[in-house]
Structure 1
Amino acid sequence: MHLRAEAIILSVRAHGEHGAIVRAMTESDGMLAGYVRGGRSRKLKPVLQPANLVLGDWRARTEEQLPGMTVELIHSRAPMFREPLPAAALDWATALTAAALPEGLAYPQLHSALDAVLSAVEAAPAARGWAVALVRYELLMLAELGFGLDLETCAATGGTTDLAFVSPKSGSAVSRAGASGYENRLFRLPPFLTEGGQAEWQDILDGLRITGHFLERDLMIGKGADALAARQRLVDRLKRAVA
């Protein structure tokens, strides 16, 4: 096995005295793990930073063997980790991807969307510039892994207009008429999820509430405690930022 490709660093775990097991996402081969010799060294630590873009080289004698991996830095997002809110966003986006995706399966849409989210966090002067993209990435992750939400049709009436809520059980939209008397049991559906465009802070927080519920219920069971903790840190910081 030999692969050389650009990749987004997702996670780094210490292995042995000096090495590290790195998970990184490529466009054509999905998420791949590799052992980086000296990965905890002073030289490589800044390179093996989650969210960094690298040129990775994976080599193994058999398909079953954990490949050895070498990396060359293409683009560093390390400066963003100096700011608590962008750092929390980068931590969560990469941790979610590392925890949720199976290895070795290509998800080109997720790769493109992840790169767009990380670039938005890097470029935007304020969180409102990237928070919408992050919510959409979470929705895409659910859809790509078989847990997509239906935000186009009312689960109660079958209609496609005046959709205002989301059922926490079915993941389907519910119209105002269909939700009558049950509004307090449903999630509010923020307009940007169906109409596009920018969003107010309350809309963003409502979107994160929806995606968080289904990520925890359907996708992260038994494998995402650390990742979900990273998400909670992000949500807490967003709430403090807009309070």
Structure 2
Amino acid sequence: MPNLRTTAIICSVRTHGEHGAVVRSLTPENGLMAGYVRGARSRTMRPVLIPSNLVQADYRARTEDQLASMTAELLQSRGAYLGEPLPSAGLDWATALTAAVLPEEQSYPQLYAALSALLQAIGSAPSAKGWAVALARYELLLLSELGFGLDLDKCTVTGSEDDLIYVSPRSATAVSAAAGQIYKDRLLPLPEFLRRADQPDWPDIFNGLKVTGFFLKRHFFDDRRNDVMAARSVLIDRLKRVVA
């Protein structure tokens, strides 16, 4: 990737040196890209390099192994939501998660489309209920794309496709009501919207986020990078205040 011009969603910005920053962004065809932006902390660039913003990015590198230099032109700003506690927490978590777990320069077009839709929903949905569902589905898709997908189509014990209400935390598979009765205290809840299109109420939404959060922590954040999961905790707390 010596040279590349593409649209990109800013996912993380980390200060590097006195004036620059290493910026990680999700692109449609090239996946997560890292680039060094000179003057990233300037008055001109700070509003551009806000996580969740959509930019036109140019990457240039002399060799494949060199960190590319990056320039960015703003296409869509979400900076207006920084002052709104709930949308800002949603934007922060979605982008921080993406930057933390995706390997660089591997194509994930479905994740790019899903993240774009999620960020758009956070900014435009009439209520948090709509985009909270999209968030849980994005987390579920991310797990699947990275090889940790959940098998929710049939009961892992009986093979039945009916009355699936639990998820086994050990095998990441669905469990029916009858098969899971004895072990229900050890199982995770399985809301219907994680399996098929549905419009859940808040209790099911939180159950869905409980499931995806459990597996995200296990596979990516257990005993490390807890600062990233802290952003998720802030988001869940703010969502709970909405329905309190």
TM range (shorter): over 0.9
Tell me the equivalent position of 2:217: 216
Shift of residue 222, structure 1, vs aligned partner:
5.6
Tell me the equivalent position of 1:186: 187
Distance 1:223 1:40, change over 3 A: farther
8 Å contact from structure 1 (residues 163, 173) kept in 2? yes
Shift of residue 240, structure 1, vs aligned partner:
1.6
Tell me the equivalent position of 2:59: 58
TM-score between the two structures when normalised by the length of structure 1:
0.98
Q: What is the rounded CA distance, in whole Å, between the counterparts of 1:53 and 1:209 in structure 2?
A: 29
- Corresponding residue pairs, total: 243
Q: What is the rounded CA distance, in whole Å, between the counterparts of 2:180 and 2:27 in structure 1?
A: 42
Tell me the equivalent position of 1:92: 93
Q: What is the rounded CA distance, in whole Å, between the counterparts of 1:78 and 1:125 in structure 2?
A: 18
What does residue range 1-243 of structure 1 map to in structure 2 within 5 Å? 1-221=2-222, 224-243=225-244
Distance 1:64 1:222, change over 3 A: farther
3-state SS in 2 of match to 1:139: helix
3-state SS in 2 of match to 1:215: helix
3-state SS in 1 of match to 2:107: coil
Q: Percent identity?
A: 58
What is the aligned-residue RMSD (CA, Å)? 1.0
> Structure 2 unaligned runs (5+)?
none
Shift of residue 168, structure 1, vs aligned partner:
1.1
Shift of residue 156, structure 1, vs aligned partner:
1.2
Distance 1:103 1:223, change over 3 A: farther
3-state SS in 2 of match to 1:130: helix
8 Å contact from structure 1 (residues 30, 104) kept in 2? yes
Q: What is the rounded CA distance, in whole Å, between the counterparts of 2:55 and 2:195 in structure 1?
A: 35
8 Å contact from structure 1 (residues 99, 223) kept in 2? no
Q: Residue type matched to 2:6 in 1?
A: A
> Structure 1 unaligned runs (5+)?
none
Q: What is the rounded CA distance, in whole Å, between the counterparts of 1:94 and 1:226 in structure 2?
A: 14
Q: What is the rounded CA distance, in whole Å, between the counterparts of 1:18 and 1:195 in structure 2?
A: 47
Shift of residue 224, structure 1, vs aligned partner:
3.1
TM-score between the two structures when normalised by the length of structure 2:
0.97
3-state SS in 1 of match to 2:35: strand
Shift of residue 126, structure 1, vs aligned partner:
1.3
3-state SS in 2 of match to 1:45: coil
8 Å contact from structure 1 (residues 190, 203) kept in 2? yes
Q: What is the rounded CA distance, in whole Å, between the counterparts of 1:225 and 1:56 in structure 2?
A: 30
Q: What is the rounded CA distance, in whole Å, between the counterparts of 1:47 and 1:101 in structure 2?
A: 22
Distance 1:184 1:221, change over 3 A: closer
Distance 1:204 1:188, change over 3 A: same
Shift of residue 223, structure 1, vs aligned partner:
5.1
